[in-house]
């Protein structure tokens, strides 16, 4: 792309920085591909004036879109070329700032709101539609918002959305304590309440997808998270084998969570034992904690002191790595 953009021998490179189609009432955050090379940008805005049917919105099938367009006498489209936007010459301008200036010009021309929603948010929205959620827009979290502590990629967000939807959120997109524990195969106790309160920082007694996503990625991005996962596996097995048996797993986690019967322990064990062979290999163990980072709190009280250096007001006998 950079080679073509830098040479007049090639046609101008046409890119769609939003990466998807919206209803035209707001502007998604631009993706960085068009701005990283640092060449001048010719913004172009497209409008679809309509009375009865908005053909710009892509949340319908192609056949329905064609049928609705064919049943209208006219389908209008307006194309407007905006002034060229060039990267700052006085100082090396980051691609994100260049993209922000260009997006501001486009939003002004369209007279729409410029948002921190991204292509990833649209993927979350479509996933919620597919899962027949009553309010799909409640699962959009503004993945590119500047106040986020960590960058969250789209695939991670979609995986966490799958987990959150398995908790059976209500019509408003909230999950209660009991459903949260059921999805994570945990039982009520002081530790699991602390885990839930860590996610429910507003103390509403229920959590949203955004809270669950931010809490999970916060834990996963901790510098010692991967080492903590490795130590947790080491604590569960006796060193004689390269896997954790059901008995070893039950012996370890029962020190922290008061399971009332073997079936409760088996449910949590099966969450780690993906291939169902009755033992947890190290890759499966680490993969489960990566996909469910809040579960590291189960093993946190047994970790060496080197993992206890971070505190955020949580009790020292529980969720050290959730801070």
Euclidean distance between CA atoms 178 and 234, whole angstroms: 30
The percent of residues in the chain predicted with pLDDT above 70, rounded, is: 91
Residue 260: pLDDT band (50, 70, 90) is: low
How would you classify the pairing of strands 206-207 and 243-245? unpaired
Q: Considering only CA atoms, which of 117, 217, 198, 219 is closest in space to residue 160?
A: 217
Looking at every residue in the chain, the average pLDDT score rounds to 85
| Whole-number pLDDT of residue 90 | 67
CA distances in angstroms from 311 to 203, 216, 303, 315, listed in the order given: 19, 17, 15, 8
Question: Beta partners for 281?
Answer: 243
Q: Tell me the per-residue pLDDT of 92-102, one tens digit each, with 9 for 90 and over.
A: 788 888 999 99
Cα–Cα nearest to 180, from 290, 266, 292, 255? 292
Higher pLDDT among residues 252 and 1, named by residue:
252
Residues in CB range of 226: below 8 A, 6 or more apart: 286
pLDDT band at 316 (very low <50, low <70, confident <90, very high): very low
197-249 pLDDT tens trace: 999 988 999 999 999 999 999 999 888 899 999 999 988 887 777 889 999 99
Other C-beta atoms closer than 10 Å to the C-beta of 255 total 13
pLDDT at 308: 57
- The tokens for 124 are 């979350």
Rounded CA separation 97/119 (Å): 18
Domains of the chain (ranges plus CATH)?
2-114 (no CATH), 119-220 (1.10.238.10), 225-322 (1.10.238.10)
Q: What is the pLDDT of residues 127-177, one digit of tens each?
A: 998 888 888 888 999 888 766 767 788 899 999 999 999 998 988 899 999
CA distance 137 to 75: 28
Q: How would DSSP label each residue in 36-61?
A: TT---B--EEEE---SS--TT--SS-
Contacts of 176 (CB under 8 A, 6+ apart): 170, 205, 206
Instruction: For residue 154, count other CB atoms closer than 10 A to its CB.
Output: 15
Residues facing 243 on adjacent strands: 281
pLDDT tens, 13-25? Answer: 888 888 887 777 8
- Output the CA torsion 211→216→218→221 (10° steps): -160
pLDDT of residue 256: 82
The per-residue pLDDT for range 135-145, each reduced to its tens digit, is: 888 899 988 87
Beta-carbon contacts of 70 under 8 Å, excluding residues fewer than 6 positions away, are: none
Characterize the bridge pairing of strands 113-114 and 26-27: parallel
pLDDT band at 2, cuts 50/70/90? confident
Counting residues of the chain whose pLDDT is more than 90, the rounded percentage is 35
Q: What's the confidence (pLDDT) of residue 207? A: 96
Q: Supply the pLDDT for residue 73.
A: 86
**DSSP character for 167?**
T
- Chain segment 33-74, per-residue pLDDT in tens: 888 888 889 999 988 888 888 887 666 788 988 898 898 888
């Amino acid at each position: 792309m950079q080679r073509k953009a830098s040479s007049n021998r090639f046609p101008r490179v046409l890119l769609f920085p939003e990466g998807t189609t919206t209803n035209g009432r707001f502007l998604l955050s631009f993706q960085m591909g068009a701005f990283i090379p640092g060449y001048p940008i010719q913004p172009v805005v497209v409008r679809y004036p309509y009375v009865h049917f908005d053909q710009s919105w892509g949340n319908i099938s192609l056949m329905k879109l064609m049928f609705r367009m064919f049943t209208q006498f006219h389908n209008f489209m307006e194309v407007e070329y905006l002034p060229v936007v060039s990267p700052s010459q006085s100082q090396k301008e980051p691609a994100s700032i260049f993209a922000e200036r260009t997006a501001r010009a486009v939003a002004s021309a369209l007279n729409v709101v410029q948002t921190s929603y991204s292509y990833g948010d649209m993927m979350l929205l479509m996933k919620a539609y597919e899962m027949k959620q009553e309010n799909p827009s409640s699962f959009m979290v503004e993945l590119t918002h500047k106040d986020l502590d960590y960058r969250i990629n789209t695939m991670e967000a979609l995986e966490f959305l799958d987990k959150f939807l398995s908790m059976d959120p209500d019509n408003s997109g909230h999950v209660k304590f009991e459903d949260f524990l059921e999805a994570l195969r945990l039982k009520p106790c002081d530790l699991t309440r602390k885990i839930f309160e860590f996610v429910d920082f507003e103390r509403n007694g229920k959590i949203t997808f955004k809270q669950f996503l931010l809490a999970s990625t916060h834990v996963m991005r901790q510098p010692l998270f991967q080492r903590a996962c490795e130590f947790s596996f080491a604590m569960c097995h006796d060193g004689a084998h390269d896997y954790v048996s059901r008995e070893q797993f039950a012996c370890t986690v029962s020190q922290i969570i008061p399971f009332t019967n073997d079936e409760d322990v088996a449910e949590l064990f099966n969450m780690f034992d993906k291939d169902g062979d009755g033992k947890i290999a190290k890759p499966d163990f680490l993969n489960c904690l990566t996909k469910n980072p809040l579960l590291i709190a189960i093993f946190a009280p047994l970790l060496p002191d080197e993992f206890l250096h971070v505190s955020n007001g949580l009790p020292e006998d529980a969720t050290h790595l959730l801070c």
